[in-house]
Structures are given as structure tokens and as C-alpha cells.
């Protein structure tokens, strides 16, 4: 009986050793509450895409220049650009312009996660004259004029 108890204890110690020897995962996010790779709440400096899309953007003269219509995420997971619909009057004549995320100054409402104001250093005229952003969907729907019959 003592032999079986000693064997079981030795086996348990051998099986538990790899768990003790493991190093903490370097991808462990401190806001994840201890679960590697999972985020349970945003950091104070994070912005949610749902809060950005549809938000008004203001130029240096405090005039509204458009609304955010999309956020482009690069392959490395970083925000590549933010797409703003500009130059419209009641939705007519609007074009999309993609601006780098660092061009935006986003401020929060006091004691809130809500956006107070989004500003850029570009004027309405700057963005009207900027090259249009062609979404992947728009480029696929364009035709060359030839058709297969």
C-alpha cells in the first residue's frame, strides 16, 4: 500500500512540474484580468470603433467637415486610416477621404467614455480637394465598358 501511495505521489509531482516551470505568457495583457490574449475592458486611452463611426469631424475653424464612415485596420492590427465622408449637402455630392489616425485629435467628455469632439488640422476645402478614397467594394463594381455575351 505504501508503495502505491509513493508511486502516486511521484507521478503527481512529475505531472505538475511542467506547470510550475512555465513562464508567464509575454502576450498577457494586464487589462485582461490574468487571461492570456483576452481583453476584458478597454484601456482608458482606447477608442471603440462604434463610437468613432458616425461621429462628426471638425476643422481648425470649428466648422463641421464631415462624419467618420469607416476605420481601416492594417494587417498588423493597427489603425491604418480613418475614412471621413466630406463635401456633402444632405448626402449629395459626398466623397470619402482616408486620413491617417494620428491626424485626429479626439477628446472625451469629462468623466465619460463618450466622445466630446473630434478635430483635424484640415479645412473643409483641403478635404474637398484631397484625393478620394476608393473602397474595395467600389473598385470591384466598376466596369471597363466591355461585356461578355
pLDDT one-digit tens code per residue, 56-96: 999 999 999 999 999 999 999 899 899 999 876 665 778 99
pLDDT at 110: 87
Whether this prediction's pTM lies above 0.85 is answered by no
SS3 6: helix
- For 49-134, the fitting CATH number among 2.30.30.240, 2.40.50.140, 2.40.340.10, 3.40.50.1240 is 2.30.30.240
The closest alpha carbon to 48, from 128, 126, 147, 114, belongs to 114
For residue 5, is pLDDT > 50?
no
Q: Which run of H or E residues covers position 20?
A: helix 2-21
What the block records as the C-alpha cell of 69 is 464612415
Pairing of strands 105-108, 95-99: unpaired
What is the percentage of the chain residues whose pLDDT exceeds 70?
64
Domain regions of the chain by residue span:
49-134
Amino acid at each position: 500500500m505504501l508503495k502505491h501511495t509513493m508511486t502516486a505521489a511521484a507521478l503527481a509531482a512529475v505531472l505538475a512540474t511542467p506547470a510550475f516551470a512555465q513562464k508567464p505568457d509575454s502576450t498577457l495583457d494586464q487589462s485582461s484580468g490574468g487571461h492570456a490574449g483576452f481583453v476584458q475592458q478597454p484601456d482608458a486611452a482606447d477608442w471603440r470603433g462604434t463610437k468613432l463611426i458616425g461621429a462628426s469631424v471638425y476643422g481648425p475653424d470649428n466648422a463641421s467637415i464631415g462624419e467618420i464612415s469607416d476605420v481601416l485596420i492594417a494587417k498588423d492590427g493597427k489603425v491604418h486610416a480613418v475614412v471621413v465622408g466630406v463635401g456633402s449637402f444632405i448626402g449629395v455630392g459626398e466623397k470619402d477621404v482616408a486620413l491617417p489616425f494620428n491626424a485626429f485629435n479626439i477628446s472625451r467628455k469629462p468623466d465619460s467614455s463618450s466622445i466630446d469632439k473630434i478635430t483635424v488640422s484640415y479645412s473643409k476645402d483641403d478635404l474637398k480637394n484631397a484625393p478620394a478614397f476608393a473602397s474595395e467594394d467600389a473598385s470591384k463594381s466598376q466596369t471597363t465598358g466591355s461585356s461578355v455575351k
